[in-house]
């Protein structure tokens, strides 16, 4: 059995083995997905500003970990963007990101309120655990699916970071002095965050990353169309083990048994739903 490389926290772009890049091993469909992912990851400062408002009266170290988390997320976008620019010199991370930022700005990012859109700090941390579960599993799937050495390394490094982020948010969740949430409330927050994956963020990122600005008039943004395109580019890389990992992490965050019947049922349901979505796309 192959043993995956263990990547530690604190890496930089200079640590990546860029000289091993193999153009012949680049998959065009996966390249399109990486371009979109680069924009989403690069957008971390908006999330940082929002979380710092929500946790504004917390201890200084809490605001410090929010900053560090954001810096690592933004570096993920830089690493993915640099790889995409290497694979496709016509792609420009900064230009694509400027288009994305201009057209995508959730209301709670633009406001100045300190209340979490999840209703509480505990709810916010459950939502973040859901996101980190998804991204850790996603980059694990990319790592296992690609034959391109540099992308495999980058995906492995990012997946490890996202797993550490999950553990951080999980710890913060249980350090809050707010009243605990009921199991069903936690589950509702988690389901709500999963459903948000169908919003404009990924679809519009895919559009800005893969449709040149000079083709906007001929190919205007259509959420349904580019949501399907993004799904086609990413869904097919998943294997059952990646979905199992994702569900187990979410189950733990909401207080369910990661190896229990509910987790098993949710894993089976999500796997078949993703298979169906990939086939439809």
Q: Please report the pLDDT score of residue 143 as a whole number.
A: 97
Which structure tokens are listed for 154?
């980058």
Report the alpha-carbon distance of residue 134 to residue 115 in Å, rounded. 24
pLDDT single digits (tens) 155-190: 999 999 999 999 999 999 998 888 999 999 999 999
Q: Please report the pLDDT score of residue 198 as a whole number.
A: 63
pLDDT single digits (tens) 230-266: 988 888 899 999 999 999 999 999 999 999 999 999 9
> What domains can you pick out in the chain, each with its CATH number?
24-238 (1.10.620.20)
Do residues 205 and 181 make contact, with C-beta atoms less than 8 angstroms apart?
A: no
Q: Please report the pLDDT score of residue 1 as a whole number.
A: 34
pLDDT single digits (tens) 52-66: 999 888 777 878 889
Nearest Cα neighbor of 273 from 49, 66, 88, 281 is 281
pTM: predicted TM-score of the whole model, two decimal places: 0.92
Estimate the share of the chain in helix, then strand, then coil, as percent rounded to the nearest 5: 75, 0, 25
Count CB atoms within 10 A of the CB of residue 125: 26
Q: Residue 3 — φ and ψ, nearest 5°?
A: -105, 125
Do residues 149 and 22 make contact, with C-beta atoms less than 8 angstroms apart?
A: yes
């Amino acid at each position: 059995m192959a043993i995956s490389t263990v990547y530690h926290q604190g890496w930089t772009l200079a640590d990546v083995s860029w000289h091993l890049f193999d153009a012949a091993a680049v998959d065009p469909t996966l390249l399109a997905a990486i371009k979109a992912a680069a924009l989403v990851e690069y957008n971390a400062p908006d999330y940082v500003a929002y979380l710092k408002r929500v946790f504004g009266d917390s201890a200084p170290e809490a605001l410090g970990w929010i900053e560090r988390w954001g810096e690592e997320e933004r570096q993920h976008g830089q690493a993915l963007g640099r790889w995409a620019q290497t694979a496709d010199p016509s792609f420009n991370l900064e230009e694509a990101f400027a288009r994305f930022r201009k057209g995508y700005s959730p209301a709670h990012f633009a406001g100045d309120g300190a209340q979490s859109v999840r209703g509480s700090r505990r709810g916010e941390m459950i939502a973040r655990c859901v996101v980190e579960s998804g991204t850790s599993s996603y980059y694990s799937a990319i790592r296992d699916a690609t034959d391109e050495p540099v992308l495999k390394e980058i995906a492995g490094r990012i997946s490890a970071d996202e797993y550490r982020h999950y553990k951080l948010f999980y710890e913060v969740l249980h350090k809050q002095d707010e009243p605990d949430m009921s199991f069903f409330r936690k589950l509702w927050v988690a389901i709500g965050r999963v459903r948000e994956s169908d919003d404009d963020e990924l679809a519009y990122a895919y559009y800005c990353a893969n449709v040149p600005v000079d083709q906007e008039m001929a190919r205007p943004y259509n959420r349904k169309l580019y949501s399907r395109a993004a799904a086609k580019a990413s869904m097919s890389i998943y294997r059952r083990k990646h979905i199992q990992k994702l569900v187990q992490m979410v189950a733990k965050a909401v207080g369910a048994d990661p190896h229990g019947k509910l987790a098993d049922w949710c894993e089976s349901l999500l796997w078949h739903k993703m298979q169906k979505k990939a086939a439809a796309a």
